[in-house]
Amino acid sequence: MQYVCEVMQIKDLSGVAKLKIFCDRNKMRICRKIFFYIIIKHMNEINSLLTQYLNYLEIEKNRSIKTRENYERYLKSFIVFAKIEKPQDITLDKVMQFRLHLARESKDGKNLKRITQSYYIIALRNLLKFLTKRDYVVLSPDKIELPKIARRQIEIIEYKELERLLDAPNLNTFRGLRDKAILETLFSTGLRVSELCNLDRYINLDRGEAAVRGKGEKIRVVFISDDAKKAIKNYLDKRSDTIDKLFISLAKENTKEGAKPPKAIGKITSRAVQRLMDFYKRKAGITKKITPHQIRHQFATDLLMNGADLRSVQELLGHSNISTTQVYTHITNKQLKEVHEAFHGKRRK
């Protein structure tokens, strides 16, 4: 027995035609994907403009390929849901319906987080701004309000736990030397994990600094502590490969006595860094979840707790907007703490 999956009128070169797709019960999901693909294929005008916008993001705004892919997913989701064929089809009512859809949509049994919902709306607003600049008569981006997002809660571990994590690698093995250098470098520089993976092998350790290409291809300088320099030097002294990246992925280690060091198989990946972080946090007896990005948070809060100003921390982290850096201020505010200690409870005996 056949079931009608969808029926919709679409415009093509031959005029207006009705499209019917039939499927049986077992092929309903595949049929739905085919249907969406055909809808998008026939939406020539909006697709053309979407491609122009994505090219603009990548070339003129210097956004990464990953950012382009995310924006494409967000915007195509709206185009399919609202059945947009041309820019004028984007109305406030359709946007509100889409927002309601996002709020009720579930993934693996869980609703989309508010912050995730906001990514879709930000992408849509930016597309409308792009079209407005190119003299298309479209819905004003200012009419679309962004959802209010609660300030992100930054989780950090205790300093003693951090010390145990940094001391966890076994320095009698090449893998341990590499992992020690990775952990010390993360805490010393506050690098994003993608930036760490792309560090050049031939950095100048004597100067104790390195140039890093971060988000939006922006270059900033990070500084390497004495502990990190020592760990990197010990690790590099044992390197025998010719790979030009500082940190490398290693083949499975032979645990037999007298075995050769594991073979280098390319630059290290973000996933490999996360795996070694999981391994050492268990070895250090830390029950909290720890990620490479969390070490970046530790770096920022350590600076602030020791009196660094917010602008300096912003530059060291590579944040384009200081409001991003301000999420750390709820953890510690040295000046407020000094005020509290100086003036609170002085009349108590």
In the set 11, 201, 267, 293, the catalytic residue is 293
Token pair 């004028």 in the structure block, residue: 88
Is 99 tagged catalytic?
no
Pick the closest to residue 147 from 90, 98, 80 (CA basis).
98
Pairing of strands 3-12, 209-213: unpaired
Is 296 tagged catalytic?
yes
Is 29 tagged catalytic?
no
Pairing of strands 3-12, 264-267: unpaired
In the set 86, 101, 129, 215, the catalytic residue is 215
Is 348 tagged catalytic?
no
CB of 316 closer than 8 Å to CB of 190: yes
Name every residue whose Cβ is closer than 8 Å to that of residue 34 and which is 6 or more positions away in sequence. 21
In the set 125, 178, 180, 296, the catalytic residue is 296
- Each as own residue / partner, the long-range contacts of residues 314-323 (CB below 8 Å, 24 or more positions apart, any chain) are 315/220, 316/190, 316/220, 316/222, 316/223, 317/190, 318/192, 318/212, 318/214, 318/215, 318/218, 318/220, 320/215, 320/216, 320/218
Is 192 tagged catalytic?
yes
Is 215 tagged catalytic?
yes
CB of 21 closer than 8 Å to CB of 31: yes
132-151 CB burial, b ≥16 within 10 A, e <16: beeeeebbeeeebeeeeeee
Name every residue whose Cβ is closer than 8 Å to that of residue 204 and which is 6 or more positions away in sequence. 210
In the set 63, 178, 192, 281, the catalytic residue is 192
In the set 63, 178, 281, 319, the catalytic residue is 319
Task: Report the catalytic residues.
Answer: 192, 215, 293, 296, 319, 328
